Structure 1
Amino acid sequence: MIKLIAFLGNYGKKYENTRHNAAWVVLPELDIWSRLSWQNKFRGEYAKCVHPADSTESLHFLKPHTYMNLSGESVGELAKFFKLKCENILVVHDELEIKPATISLKWAGGLGGHNGLRSIKAALGTPDFWRLKIGIGKPQFENADIAGYVLSAFSKSELSGLNRASVNLNDLLNKVLNCKNQGELKVLLNGKPSIKIELKDEK
């Protein structure tokens, strides 16, 4: 059962709507957003609500304010405080390796060079946690500055795509949150390392 959803990003006005902050960009589009009341805690913004799969459990939400490369300091602190297992943690983050506005769910595995994930692995002592990836695509040109790309702002068309992808994101997240154990979560993957939901072209 997922008990913590951590949305990775960089804190500060200059990082708003940048590709590296894709998780923060889509957060207000989630169905559950209006039910959350945020407070400063665990080195970030923290909220909780009754878990949709079990009314005796809480579902925790976290936006680390440690900056991306130190996300694990915030996630690790919360996980330790609530004595969460790694399989209870879902990390929402931007992903270069999948097309823009594509949503992907993955259990454990490699980190894909993502410094936020690397920091969380170091804090938890394992890469075995759930990831919900939001595709931002790669730069058009080879040898492009990747750091500059992820820290630059989304275009209007990219933001529009993310907005339309929120339907897919909510659908997948609702399925994830209604799983009561690790076995049910892995059924969602249908025997694959990950599942992807691509944005349908507008007609």
Structure 2
Amino acid sequence: MSLPEYLIVGLGNPGSKYTDTRHNVGFIAVDELARRWKESLSTEKWNALSCRMVQWDCRLTLIKPVTFMNLSGRAVAEYAKFYKIPVQNIIVVHDDLDMHPGRLKLVRGGGAGGHNGIKSITQSLGSNEFFRLKIGIGRPGKGDVHADFPVEKYVLSVMSAEEASLLEDRIASIEEGIRMFINDGPAKAMSIINSIK
């Protein structure tokens, strides 16, 4: 019997200058998940770096699109089509300006909220019914971030040591949330992930 297929997408921009920026928290999270599972996203095809594995009685494909953010959907659509992954089995991990740093939230559907990666995926899949695991990065004018800091510059700036440490602390919760999503269903996963403020 074939195993159910799931796709986990980390969003970010390729290139060393974007490595530790806030907009790349999706890349960072997916890389760390792969590392925990003794894998690395080293295979490049269909405009993404990827790896495939069997985990929790399913087949997981992890990808990081290597196009820039606003074209991320091309890779997602290619992988979903080739491996016949239904849209409800796709989790996109990405940054969110409207949540404070370190907050996690799992949602299904909804608008892109100005996020070009999400817009591109929705367009390429022809659906917004995939799941999104949002990682808060805060926004200018909130917390310690000066209101005059342009948003475009803020998301492409390197995270502070405190923000990076907070993200690192959240990886275990992200991993457990994905496990619950697969084994126990989205509602259970949401109840755990969305309680992390």
Q: Which interval holds the TM-score relative to the shorter structure? A: 0.7 to 0.9
Deviation at 1:36, TM superposition (A): 4.2
1:43 to 12, 22, 47: 47
C-alpha distance in structure 2 between counterparts of 1:2 and 1:90, whole Å:
12
* RMSD over aligned Cα atoms: 2.1
C-alpha distance in structure 1 between counterparts of 2:32 and 2:39, whole Å:
12
Count of residues in correspondence between the two structures:
189
Unaligned runs of 5+ in 2: none
Equivalent residue number for residue 34 of structure 1: 38
2:196 to 191, 195, 198: 198
CA contact (8 A) 2:102 2:135 kept: yes
SS of equivalent residue, structure 2 residue 92:
strand
SS of equivalent residue, structure 1 residue 34:
coil
Equivalent residue number for residue 121 of structure 1: 122
Match runs of 1:50-69 below 5 Å:
50-54=54-58, 58-69=59-70
Q: TM-score, normalised by structure 2?
A: 0.87
Q: Which amino acid aligns with 1:177?
A: I
Deviation at 1:2, TM superposition (A): 6.2
Unaligned runs of 5+ in 1: none
Q: Which amino acid aligns with 2:39?
A: R
C-alpha distance in structure 1 between counterparts of 2:162 and 2:153, whole Å:
19
C-alpha distance in structure 1 between counterparts of 2:74 and 2:152, whole Å:
22
Match runs of 1:76-155 below 5 Å:
76-139=77-140, 140-142=145-147, 144-155=149-160
Larger RCO, structure (CA 8 Å, separation 6 or more): 1
Q: Which amino acid aligns with 1:35?
A: E
CA, structure 1 residues 37+146, in 2 after alignment: closer, same or farther (shift >3 Å)?
Answer: closer
Q: Which amino acid aligns with 2:66?
A: H
CA contact (8 A) 1:97 1:138 kept: yes
Deviation at 1:33, TM superposition (A): 3.8
CA contact (8 A) 2:105 2:190 kept: no
Q: What is the CA deviation profile of residues 108-156 of structure 1, one whole-angstrom value per residue up to 9, with x for unaligned ones?
A: 1121111000000000111111011111111223354111110010011
Percent identity between the aligned chains? Answer: 38
Q: Which amino acid aligns with 1:163?
A: E
C-alpha distance in structure 2 between counterparts of 1:89 and 1:75, whole Å:
9
C-alpha distance in structure 1 between counterparts of 2:110 and 2:88, whole Å:
13
C-alpha distance in structure 1 between counterparts of 2:188 and 2:15, whole Å:
38
CA contact (8 A) 1:106 1:132 kept: yes
